[in-house]
């Protein structure tokens, strides 16, 4: 089943100069880029996107981080796209991410873990509307 995922290359990924490398990783796997844009996110959009973390002590840090610089938003599509892309991204904590995943390759900290990817088809539908309205 073809599935779409909303992927965000976070401000740390953009600052590190690895936009191309991350996109190449997805392209080489065979995923299709349906949409792509560079933008700086607004606080309200990030608050909505990370509403499931609103009771966490690090919530404000996550918001501040996500608006700290430009990001690249993509809609990627492929067979079983949600789980394939989440596997390629790796665990939230890069220290626990499997070797070879994007977070294991490019990050050390949960707070700056380079990339977001939707965790379900339902979330992807909401997130695609949120970031590509
Ligand atoms: P995910 O990005 O792997 O789906 P979520 O639990 O949805 O992980 O959390 C969203 C984002 O919030 C993470 O990517 C990470 O940047 C940040 N985050 C999650 N847990 C922590 C934490 O324990 N400390 C700092 N930041 C965190
Ligand atoms: Mg998540």
Q: 58 alpha carbon to ligand 1 midpoint, in Å?
A: 9
- Could you report the per-residue pLDDT of 59-74, keeping only the tens digit for each? 999 999 999 999 999 9
Return the CATH superfamily for domain 2-131: Nucleoside diphosphate kinase-like domain (3.30.70.141)
Q: Where are the domains of the chain?
A: 2-131
> For a substitution probing ligand 1, which of 92, 102, 108 has the most ligand atoms within 8 Å of its CB?
92
- Could you report the per-residue pLDDT of 4-59, keeping only the tens digit for each? 999 999 999 999 999 999 999 999 999 999 999 999 999 999 999 999 999 999 99
Q: 28 alpha carbon to ligand 2 midpoint, in Å?
A: 24
Residue minimizing CA distance to atom 23 of ligand 1: 110
Q: Reply yes or no on whether 52 is catalytic.
A: no
- C-alpha dihedral over 89, 83, 50, 123, to 10 degrees? 150
Decide if 103 contacts 77 (C-beta within 8 A).
Answer: no
Q: 49 alpha carbon to ligand 2 midpoint, in Å?
A: 9
- Could you report the per-residue pLDDT of 77-101, keeping only the tens digit for each? 999 999 999 999 999 999 999 999 9
**Nearest-angstrom CA–CA distance, 132 and 34:** 11
Residue minimizing CA distance to atom 16 of ligand 1: 111
Residue minimizing CA distance to atom 1 of ligand 1: 92
**Nearest-angstrom CA–CA distance, 21 and 115:** 12
Decide if 25 contacts 87 (C-beta within 8 A).
Answer: no
- Supply the pTM of this predicted model: 0.98
Residue 29's pLDDT is what? Answer: 98
Specify the DSSP class assigned to residue 109.
B
Which of 41, 82, 84, 116 does the annotation list as catalytic?
A: 116
Binding-site annotation: residue ranges for ATP: 10, 58, 86, 92, 103, 113
Q: Which residues of 85-120 are buried (b: 16+ CB within 10 A; e: fewer)?
A: bbebbbeeebeebeeebbbbbbbeeeebbbbbbbbe
Residue with tokens 């995923």: 31
- C-alpha dihedral over 10, 60, 99, 37, to 10 degrees? -10
């Amino acid at each position: 089943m073809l599935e779409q995922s909303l992927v965000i290359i976070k401000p740390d990924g953009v600052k590190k100069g690895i936009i191309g490398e991350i996109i190449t990783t997805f392209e080489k796997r065979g995923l299709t880029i349906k949409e792509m844009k560079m933008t700086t996110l607004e606080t309200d959009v990030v608050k909505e996107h990370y509403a499931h973390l609103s009771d966490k002590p690090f919530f404000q840090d996550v918001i501040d981080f996500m608006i700290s610089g430009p990001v690249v938003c993509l809609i990627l599509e492929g067979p079983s796209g949600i789980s394939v892309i989440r596997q390629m991204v790796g665990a939230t904590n890069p220290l626990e991410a499997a070797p070879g995943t994007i977070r294991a390759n490019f990050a050390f900290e949960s707070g700056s873990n380079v990339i977001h990817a939707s965790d379900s088809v339902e979330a992807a539908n909401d997130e695609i509307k949120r970031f590509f309205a």
